[in-house]
Amino acid sequence: MVNASIITIGDELLIGQVIDTNSAWMAKELNTAGIPVVRRVAVGDVWNEIWKALDEESAHSDIILMTGGLGPTSDDITKELLCKYFDGKMVVDPASLAHVNYLFEEIFKRPITERNLKQAEIPDVCQVIQNKRGSAPGMLFSRKYPDQATPKIYISLPGVPHEMKGMMPAVLDAIRVRFELSHIAHRTLLTAGIGESMLADMIVDFENALPSHIKLAYLPNYRMVRLRLSASASQKEEMEKELDKHFLTLQQLVKDYIVTNTDEPLEAIVGKILLQKNKTLCTAESCTGGYIAQMITSVPGASAYYDGSFVTYSYKAKEDLLNVNKNTIVEKGAVSEEVVREMANGALKNIQSDYVIAVSGIMGPGGGTPDKPVGTVWVAIGKKGRLITQKFSFGFDRERNVISTAINALNMLRKFILADE
Amino acid sequence: MVNASIITIGDELLIGQVIDTNSAWMAKELNTAGIPVVRRVAVGDVWNEIWKALDEESAHSDIILMTGGLGPTSDDITKELLCKYFDGKMVVDPASLAHVNYLFEEIFKRPITERNLKQAEIPDVCQVIQNKRGSAPGMLFSRKYPDQATPKIYISLPGVPHEMKGMMPAVLDAIRVRFELSHIAHRTLLTAGIGESMLADMIVDFENALPSHIKLAYLPNYRMVRLRLSASASQKEEMEKELDKHFLTLQQLVKDYIVTNTDEPLEAIVGKILLQKNKTLCTAESCTGGYIAQMITSVPGASAYYDGSFVTYSYKAKEDLLNVNKNTIVEKGAVSEEVVREMANGALKNIQSDYVIAVSGIMGPGGGTPDKPVGTVWVAIGKKGRLITQKFSFGFDRERNVISTAINALNMLRKFILADE
């Protein structure tokens, strides 16, 4: 089966300054196209390290996809190294040169420098993959090894995410003309309200009876567990049918805990339900500081069901924008059942959506007290005349508390809407 | 010099379902402690792949740090594999057993299962690293190779981020007792308003004159470029002094473009300026859907200067919450200079902060028109009686447009406040 390695190049990846989102995105694209990724490697802008990584990944995979190190500055050495690795010499690519000139004159509207022009130079042994969104062209090399029937291919792309993404369709086309690809399929469902071990016990017989070419994985996160069935085969229809059969059985087994039987995130699920019922939502956020709004609006088309959010970070904002009673804050504290109730009612009154989510909590690292430690969160969800509240104790770190609050609040709302009417 | 490799284990990393944030976090911790990370590798939950990765990374590094594959379900095989790799046998660790029992009885309040109890079993050849936040203990193994003076060490941690993070101090302690570490230092500055190539030309002599043990890197992102100087040496004070000297020169060279000379993100810089001037900020967001609020509130202590945000996603919300005139929206469109002006003024009126940011744009993928294509964004920033507006054309993808809008709006505000009074 044709497989791939991803090599990401850049010192910033090894000192933790940048989170590598490119690899995950590329892996998803490759998988969807039927190319399993067996390894992902990150190395610095260091000649020997890149060279060794190329040697090693050549031993693991048929396709080696690289990003990074193609910029115009001297710390970027990928292109020069690839030229040497594949015994080429540098030449100017006229199409790339025209494109660089066009970019600087028409789009960036900045004077072009010698460095920018050098971006149009490429090793004469590569095939160019055009980069419409930037000045560094992509490059495809191939090498035939004695023990291999098909030459392995090596593709180098820029590390700037939207440039790399724009070039991916051409990359996949170039792969498809060279390799016979098998089919990979996944089925995913999301559960809530049950731990990973209990879930595993519940489906142990199902798991043991699975054929060897179908794999089950558990992906726990923020008190929810995602289950994934994966299969790969040369016969697409047959495999999809078999996978569907097992997925149906799995859904039956865990039906009391299913949030969704698709790969979509919770915020998209909630959006779909609202759209279907023709209802609208607003939010009132204190501790999450806009995170819930941002999750909801990350779904294209959210404006059809989402009115907006009051991000009331200060006491003043809670009073001015949501009509929260100053006395309630003083007597009960900003993180209290009473305050989230008043926030929810204030939001519904001022924006008149059908449903509401209101949250207030202590995210940390500071702000905790003995009776309200870091991680204490109150959530109210519901509609005019009927609110449901719940207290959570998440603990630990700030970022996790924000995400946990958002996910649990959205799931409370999901259940409320489904049970409503 | 003592170096490290990071191996992350899990199928979810290779199909793109999960973005690997652990590696970046661990790399930062290791670097700060004086341990350069030379490679990061991700492999699936596959026996041969994990085994080969251990062999390969042993050839690259002195310290091999692993995360993932320690869960209670059958897809997790890391512990069993490490037991075999280091010729051990499984035994129950009494301290871990007591901890698992405590977690389920006191914290999770769920019945404990056979699977959970198995979490307390460990290879008898490892040293346990306690996991206070979860049920899977960490493990430290060491192996002496004939050509090495000091045994290499292998540390396995759970993949759940907050569990891994909680164990890191103990991991670093375990490394420090075994290795003599050198010192690594970085100096970072952020620039705006100048491209990567122009910047490189401006400092080319500086770069060429740098001693070989000091490295300069360019990190462009969202129309800003971060410059980083890095050095490593055994003599800490001397190196820090030398690095400071070069960093000062660098700052002089690019002084007209500096946003900050620290590693802090823009939102923290804006926060510091507000705090220093004892001023407050509110935001009115349409297209960014809470992203700006969430950026600002990701800084601990933001409540001292940030009142909150009106996330007005619908027309109704713009009218009801920000008093935007319906006619303005109809005549000029929701994405227009007039609307962001009205949004800014509405926010200032309703929440009375000192400064305001208001944004409205077309993020895509849908919603574009010939005269307002996807990526068109209007930003207004300022204070009561004086607003500055600017139109941006970002283009490309939704996520990038949201982030570009937020960053450019924050930078506009930063300059406005610094020039104010």
By CA distance, what is A399's nearest residue in B?
A: B298
Asked if A259 and A267 touch (Cβ cutoff 8 Å), the reply is no
pLDDT reading at A394 higher than 90:
no
Chain B: give the shortest CA distance to residue A124, in Å. 24
* Strands in A253-410 per DSSP E: 258-260, 281-285, 306-312, 355-361, 376-383, 386-393
- pLDDT value of residue B235: 85
Of A113, A162, A196, the CB nearest to B73: A196
pLDDT reading at A20 higher than 80:
yes
DSSP string spanning A153-215? EEEEE-SSHHHHHHHHHHHHHHHHTT----EEEEEEEEEESS-HHHHHHHTHHHHHHS-TTEE
- pLDDT value of residue A419: 93
Tell me: the pLDDT tens digits for A290-321? Answer: 999 999 998 988 989 999 999 998 888 999 89
Asked if A347 and A284 touch (Cβ cutoff 8 Å), the reply is yes
Under the banding of pLDDT at 50, 70 and 90, the label for residue A396 is: low
Rounded percentage of chain A residues whose pLDDT exceeds 90: 70
- pLDDT value of residue A30: 94
Asked if B247 and B179 touch (Cβ cutoff 8 Å), the reply is no
Partners of A366 on chain B (C-beta within 8 Å) are 300-301
Under the banding of pLDDT at 50, 70 and 90, the label for residue A411 is: very high
Under the banding of pLDDT at 50, 70 and 90, the label for residue A253 is: very high
Query: What pTM value is reported for the model?
Result: 0.80
Answer yes or no: do A195 and B24 touch at CB < 8 A.
no
Burial class (CB in 10 A: 0-12, 13-18, 19+), A265: middle
**Distance separating the N- and C-terminal Cα atoms of chain A:** 52
Chain B: give the shortest CA distance to residue A415, in Å. 22
By CA distance, what is B293's nearest residue in A?
A: A290
Answer yes or no: do A15 and B400 touch at CB < 8 A.
no
Of B74, B289, B350, the CB nearest to A293: B289
Under the banding of pLDDT at 50, 70 and 90, the label for residue A211 is: very high
With b for 16 or more beta-carbon neighbours within 10 A and e for fewer, the A175-200 pattern comes to beebbebbbbbbbbbbbbebbbbbbb
Put simply, whether B107 touches A (Cβ < 8 Å) is no
With b for 16 or more beta-carbon neighbours within 10 A and e for fewer, the B219-237 pattern comes to bbebbbbbbbbbbbbeeee
Of B31, B72, B293, the CB nearest to A289: B293
- pLDDT value of residue B396: 67
* Residues of chain B where predicted confidence (pLDDT) is lower than 70: 396
Put simply, whether B265 touches A (Cβ < 8 Å) is no
- pLDDT value of residue B364: 82
Integer Cα distance of A297 and A311 in angstroms? 14
DSSP label of B210? S
Angle, in degrees to the nearest 10, between helices A78-85 and A47-60: 60
- pLDDT value of residue A273: 96
**Cα atoms in the Cβ-side hemisphere of radius 13 Å centred on B210:** 23
DSSP label of A256? G
Answer yes or no: do B289 and A307 touch at CB < 8 A.
no
Put simply, whether B238 touches A (Cβ < 8 Å) is no
By CA distance, what is A166's nearest residue in B?
A: B396
By CA distance, what is B165's nearest residue in A?
A: A397
Chain B: give the shortest CA distance to residue A42, in Å. 5
- pLDDT value of residue B98: 94
* Strands in A299-354 per DSSP E: 306-312
Tell me: the pLDDT tens digits for B196-237? Answer: 888 999 999 999 999 988 988 888 777 789 899 989 888 889
Give the number of beta-carbon pairs within 8 Å between A and B.
326
Average pLDDT over every residue of A211-233: 86
Chain B: give the shortest CA distance to residue A65, in Å. 13
Of B19, B60, B289, the CB nearest to A297: B289
Answer yes or no: do A314 and B293 touch at CB < 8 A.
no
Mutation site, B291, B315, B320, B321, interface A, largest A CB count within 10 A: B321
DSSP label of B105? I
- pLDDT value of residue B395: 73
Put simply, whether B397 touches A (Cβ < 8 Å) is yes
DSSP string spanning B280-296? -EEEEESTTTTHHHHHH
Tell me: the pLDDT tens digits for B362-403? Answer: 988 778 888 888 899 999 999 999 999 999 988 767 888 898
- pLDDT value of residue B32: 84
By CA distance, what is B34's nearest residue in A?
A: A15
- pLDDT value of residue A105: 87
Distances (CA, A) of B374 to B221, B286, B292, B337, B340: 20, 15, 19, 16, 17
Tell me: the pLDDT tens digits for A141-171? Answer: 999 998 888 899 999 999 988 899 999 999 9
Answer yes or no: do A217 and B11 touch at CB < 8 A.
yes
pLDDT reading at A103 higher than 70:
yes
Average pLDDT over every residue of A29-57: 94
Range in A28-32, A392-396, B315-319 the model is least confident about: A392-396
Integer Cα distance of B336 and B379 in angstroms? 9
Average pLDDT of every residue of chain A = 92
Average pLDDT over every residue of A360-364: 91
By CA distance, what is B40's nearest residue in A?
A: A42
Answer yes or no: do A309 and B311 touch at CB < 8 A.
yes
Average pLDDT over every residue of A84-112: 91
Distances (CA, A) of B378 to B341, B349, B361, B372: 9, 20, 6, 11
pLDDT reading at A27 higher than 70:
yes
Asked if A153 and A2 touch (Cβ cutoff 8 Å), the reply is no
Burial class (CB in 10 A: 0-12, 13-18, 19+), A285: buried
Chain A: give the shortest CA distance to residue B113, in Å. 7
Chain A: give the shortest CA distance to residue B288, in Å. 7
